[in-house]
């Protein structure tokens, strides 16, 4: 057994017994952490605890969304008016090319309201995805400086897109009224249609946020993917009329396209000439199913990589 020696104040050497062994001797770092209740810094909490933390940041999410909305167009002379002008200008271009030159307006009653509704609703999804893909990579400074559930960022940015859409809805309602539509009880269907679409958009934004945090080039590729998706979603044409002679599986694939589902619901709510017989079967069930599958699935998919965001 070894002894411990120490020098006294007069230079003598005192020899004593060795220190008693500690109860922690021989324990691994993991065992020590478990014994004293320590955890890894930045470790991913359980899903329930993560959700509780996220709910606790709800005021931050709302204020961050409002701040980003106010700051988005500060450099533009027309300011937040661009929130409305952008989809309107897109609708004007699509009307010229598809409605007049290509002739997709044939056989569609009130094509202007039909087209503008499709543009506004698809733009909501498109903007949510584009915001989501940059949610982590574009906010690394904030993410590395503060500790908070990272899902707050894509959720806040999707909430920002919803706030912008709600402001634009007054313009959409005005255009629909000017084209001869009259408000009725079906207009209240706008609320559940937008709610399910927002849940779907949020889940999709969470998915692309995780992908975009590692694949920085995804933000450059996404506009091409979204443009292809738009052309498949019946924004500027009627899927019902276009697929009248197409194979049955083509009709099914286009009908269950989530973007087309939410566009159909909004057109059905606002436009009298869009009747239930023109809608895909079980369209409301499809809308809810897409919201639950993508919303919940996207949330879990994002949460599984929580400890990776902002590192590397």
- Please give the full DSSP string across 101-143, using - where no structure is assigned: II-TTTT-TTHHHHHHHHHHHHHHHHHHHHHHHTTTGGGHHHH
Going by C-alpha positions, the residue among 163, 198, 172 that lies closest to residue 267 is 172
Asked which of 26-40, 177-191, 256-270, 296-310 is least confident by mean pLDDT, the reply is 26-40
Dist. CA 91–CA 246, nearest whole Å: 27
Dist. CA 146–CA 126, nearest whole Å: 29
Question: pLDDT digits over 161-218, tens only?
Answer: 998 888 888 888 988 998 888 888 999 999 999 999 999 999 999 999 999 988 888 9
Q: Using an 8 Å Cβ cutoff, are 161 and 128 in contact?
A: yes
Q: Which of 127-131, 172-176, 245-249, 278-282 has the highest mean pLDDT?
A: 127-131
Q: Which residue pairs from 50-58 have beta carbons closer than 8 angstroms and sit at least 24 positions apart in sequence?
A: 50/149, 50/151, 50/303, 50/306, 53/148, 53/149, 54/149, 54/151, 54/152, 54/155, 57/148, 57/149, 57/152
Question: pLDDT digits over 60-99, tens only?
Answer: 999 988 888 777 666 655 556 766 777 778 788 888 887 7
Supply 263's token pair: 């566009």
Share of the chain above pLDDT 70, in %: 82
Give the global pTM.
0.82
Alpha helix ranges (H) inside 26-179: 29-35, 47-56, 58-72, 82-94, 111-133, 140-145, 152-178
In which element (H, E) is residue 206 found?
A: helix 190-214
Q: Mean of the pLDDT values across residues 13-33? A: 58
- How open is the CA angle 218-257-137, to the nearest 5 degrees? 20
Distance from CA of residue 148 to its chain's centroid? 18
User: Residue 130's pLDDT band (boundaries 50, 70, 90)?
Assistant: very high
Cβ contacts of 201 within 8 Å, gap of 6 or more: 124, 125, 128, 129, 158, 161, 162
Dist. CA 249–CA 295, nearest whole Å: 26
| Cα atoms in the 13 Å half-sphere on the side-chain side of 124 | 32
Going by C-alpha positions, the residue among 240, 276, 234 that lies closest to residue 257 is 234
């Amino acid at each position: 057994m070894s002894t411990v020696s120490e020098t006294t104040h007069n230079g003598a050497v005192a020899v004593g017994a060795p220190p008693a062994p500690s109860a922690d001797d021989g324990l691994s770092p993991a065992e020590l952490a478990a014994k004293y209740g320590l955890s890894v810094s930045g470790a991913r909490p359980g899903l329930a605890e993560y959700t509780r933390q996220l709910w606790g940041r709800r005021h931050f999410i709302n204020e961050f969304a409002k701040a980003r909305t106010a700051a988005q167009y500060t450099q533009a002379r027309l300011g937040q008016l661009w929130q409305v002008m952008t989809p309107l200008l897109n609708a004007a271009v699509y009307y010229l090319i598809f409605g007049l030159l290509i002739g997709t307006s044939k056989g569609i009653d009130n094509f202007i309201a039909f087209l503008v509704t499709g543009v506004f609703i698809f733009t909501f999804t498109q903007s949510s995805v584009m915001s989501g893909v940059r949610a982590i990579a574009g906010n690394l400074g904030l993410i590395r400086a503060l500790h908070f559930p990272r899902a707050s960022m894509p959720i806040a940015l999707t909430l920002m897109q919803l706030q912008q859409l709600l402001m634009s809805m007054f313009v959409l309602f005005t255009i629909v009224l000017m084209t001869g539509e009259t408000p009725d009880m079906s207009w209240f269907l706008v609320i559940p249609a937008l709610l399910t679409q927002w849940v779907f958009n949020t889940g999709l934004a969470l998915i692309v946020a995780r992908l975009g945090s590692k694949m920085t080039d995804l933000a450059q590729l996404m506009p091409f993917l979204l443009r292809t998706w738009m052309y498949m979603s019946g924004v500027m044409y009627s899927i019902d009329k276009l697929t009248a002679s197409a194979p049955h599986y083509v009709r099914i694939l286009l009908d269950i396209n989530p973007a087309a589902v939410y566009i159909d619901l909004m057109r059905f709510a606002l436009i009298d000439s869009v009747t239930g017989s023109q809608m895909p079967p079980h369209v409301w069930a499809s809308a809810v199913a897409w919201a639950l599958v993508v919303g919940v699935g996207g949330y879990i998919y994002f949460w599984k990589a929580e400890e990776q965001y902002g590192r590397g």
